[in-house]
Structure 1
């Protein structure tokens, strides 16, 4: 038996990782989460349901046989990490410092009680370039003995998420998930994962992750923000709208052209990375899930602003990307804390200062001026 720990029992943690590991008989799964409500529901029911949209069929899978603990309150959560072979960090970028501090304390126990078992930590986030920061945070202030153990027994690896997973909320025990492409994982690992479906080792993760975030997540975010602007609840509704679908195609076309100029990748390789096979049925994908946290998704290096900068640098068209950014700045979802912070900033400081702070463009940058122009035009429409 091999042991996997999933830190972060939200939609992705349960709907992708937990469901996938449940299909691999060699693996035992433990969920950890700081949200008491998530863990309480997992414990009370002892199972949860995942509707899996594969290419050839839609599967109904009841996941059970796991353990679940609330972090920092239940001592068994320490035990799970002490004996883990794989540790998945399925959390948002802003949650990594807290998670690292938590795991780091448990590593002191692991180094003493289970020093010879190796561990692979897999980071599931769409934000690129985080692995050096995560590595530095772990080794900071470690004594010589613990540092030596850590460097010899633990590896931290990045991943590329190519799966949509949604539910009514992060506590829900009824989850929808597509299963058409693998999670790409930076090699090497300390344990064989060949028996786990949908996990695939892949070189050049850093470059491919940049490309994927731009070409897959960029148009996806644009779909959410345009969808919200037009009053839709799901991405599916927008893509059934002829004008909406055409706009997203133009966003994709602009980003794709920029990538082919920026990166040493062929069109065939690009398609292999970013073209998702059609799943059986049509999984509803909510505007709320995809649009969540616009402060991060509209930042300087992220999916839309990073794409606009790339296209501008290569003297390529980017008008539709800029318009998508403006739709994002109009995103006024009352249940999204980051969206409310963004709207308050715009209201208090004005759109020029907001774009400067959120998107990171200088006041003299043509991109800032063009985004603001589109924002005013769309807001007054």
Structure 2
């Protein structure tokens, strides 16, 4: 039977990629450090994905098992797998690289010439390439030559809202109906696996930035403004007319940059924006603004959802007033339970908004820095 390994048995791993792999006929091995989740997966051999949207349904996921990703048992699984996917978070990716490198070495030592494709399904640009770099740092020259021939690392973009909703069975998961999984076709090694729901893409960067500049940008700004206004969930926040108007305008500004960069059809992209905002209104998901807004240092970095769309639009001479409001709101994010938020506020207190933002984002354009400070100082006017 076909085997796939899903590193990360959290909500996204179970509710999105792992579920698609199981439905495509793979035996899915969930690899994680959470012993309670792994034990429950092995005991039950099944869980339920609750699709909560305009219409609701349940999907039973079967033919699964679990393994502790820090033990040698995961190496044997890697020797038998056709596909490896991840949903562990960008920070954790380098931590699973040693196991993957050891598994690749074992495949080489056993003379396995079946191809293995490893797809990092993270909320980041070129996550598979980043994982590949971490794996190749560990492989010796023979291992690298083997991987060059038999191991693919296709980059991808993923899009599905999977909030941490509690259910009676703690491995069941709640998801929205909508999802996208776009995978770079040219980077596969060997025969491309047939997985329903996986879209093979030629121009992956266009898909990545469309999602980053639209869903991620709008989601973040909704959350930061909602947090400042005392809302708890994304649907509550976007239900506020003033927040809605700011978020939509910011997404249109980021969209204008995308249209210039990739030649997207303007009408189609505006319709895509409306679809994304509609997803924010899904009250079934109860998506916590603190969850969506977490790790503000990462979200304010040069390549992420606030600064990159802003600077892309600036590069084409386009307006960015509402994107800058979003940045100003993010700089106000003060959550003692979020370590990056604590660090952010410490930087602002020590160096001031202008210097702190410039350090975090890499932005040196004086006019943009002035406007960020202005939006930060006047943030209450936008709430």
Q: Tell me, yes or no, whether TM beats 0.5.
A: yes
Q: Is residue 83–residue 114 contact of structure 1 (8 Å, CA) maintained in 2?
A: no
Partner residue in 1 for 2:74 = 77
Partner residue in 2 for 1:258 = 257
How many residues are matched? 375
- How far apart, CA to CA, are the structure 1 residues paired with 2:328 and 2:95? 32
Task: Report the Cα offset of residue 138 of structure 1.
Answer: 2.8
Q: Is residue 222–residue 234 contact of structure 2 (8 Å, CA) maintained in 1?
A: yes
> CA 1:237/1:312 → structure 2, altered by over 3 Å: closer, same or farther?
same
Is residue 11 from structure 1 mapped to residue 11 from structure 2 by the alignment? yes
- How far apart, CA to CA, are the structure 2 residues paired with 1:247 and 1:323? 8
Q: Is residue 181–residue 276 contact of structure 1 (8 Å, CA) maintained in 2?
A: no
Q: Is residue 235–residue 287 contact of structure 1 (8 Å, CA) maintained in 2?
A: yes
TM-score (norm 1): 0.89
Is residue 91 from structure 1 mapped to residue 92 from structure 2 by the alignment? no
> CA 1:141/1:281 → structure 2, altered by over 3 Å: closer, same or farther?
closer
Tell me which moved more, 228-237 or 63-72: 63-72
Partner residue in 1 for 2:343 = 341
SS in 2 for 1:157: coil
SS in 1 for 2:155: strand
Partner residue in 2 for 1:27 = 26
Task: Report the Cα offset of residue 259 of structure 1.
Answer: 1.6
Q: Is residue 294–residue 328 contact of structure 1 (8 Å, CA) maintained in 2?
A: yes
Partner residue in 1 for 2:64 = 66
| Cα deviations by residue, 1:48-85 (Å, 9 ceiling, x for unpaired) | 33211466x31123434311111123x32111111111
- How far apart, CA to CA, are the structure 2 residues paired with 1:247 and 1:174? 35
SS in 1 for 2:149: helix
Q: Is residue 52–residue 58 contact of structure 1 (8 Å, CA) maintained in 2?
A: yes
Tell me which moved more, 183-192 or 136-145: 136-145
- How far apart, CA to CA, are the structure 1 residues paired with 2:222 and 2:68? 35
Partner residue in 1 for 2:113 = 116
SS in 2 for 1:283: helix
> CA 1:152/1:268 → structure 2, altered by over 3 Å: closer, same or farther?
farther
Unmatched segments (≥5 aa) in structure 2? none
Tell me which moved more, 32-41 or 265-274: 265-274
- How far apart, CA to CA, are the structure 2 residues paired with 1:168 and 1:283? 9
1:103 to 96, 100, 103: 100
> CA 1:4/1:296 → structure 2, altered by over 3 Å: closer, same or farther?
same
SS in 1 for 2:154: strand
SS in 1 for 2:319: coil
> CA 1:167/1:48 → structure 2, altered by over 3 Å: closer, same or farther?
farther
Partner residue in 1 for 2:38 = 39
Tell me which moved more, 122-131 or 235-244: 122-131
Q: Is residue 82–residue 114 contact of structure 1 (8 Å, CA) maintained in 2?
A: no
- How far apart, CA to CA, are the structure 1 residues paired with 2:220 and 2:170? 23
Partner residue in 2 for 1:321 = 323
> CA 1:106/1:273 → structure 2, altered by over 3 Å: closer, same or farther?
farther
Task: Report the Cα offset of residue 27 of structure 1.
Answer: 1.0
Task: Report the Cα offset of residue 319 of structure 1.
Answer: 0.8
- How far apart, CA to CA, are the structure 1 residues paired with 2:197 and 2:247? 28
TM-score (norm 2): 0.89
Map 1:217-296 → 2, pairs under 5 A: 217-267=216-266, 270=269, 276=275, 282-284=283-285, 285-296=287-298
SS in 2 for 1:161: strand
SS in 2 for 1:167: coil
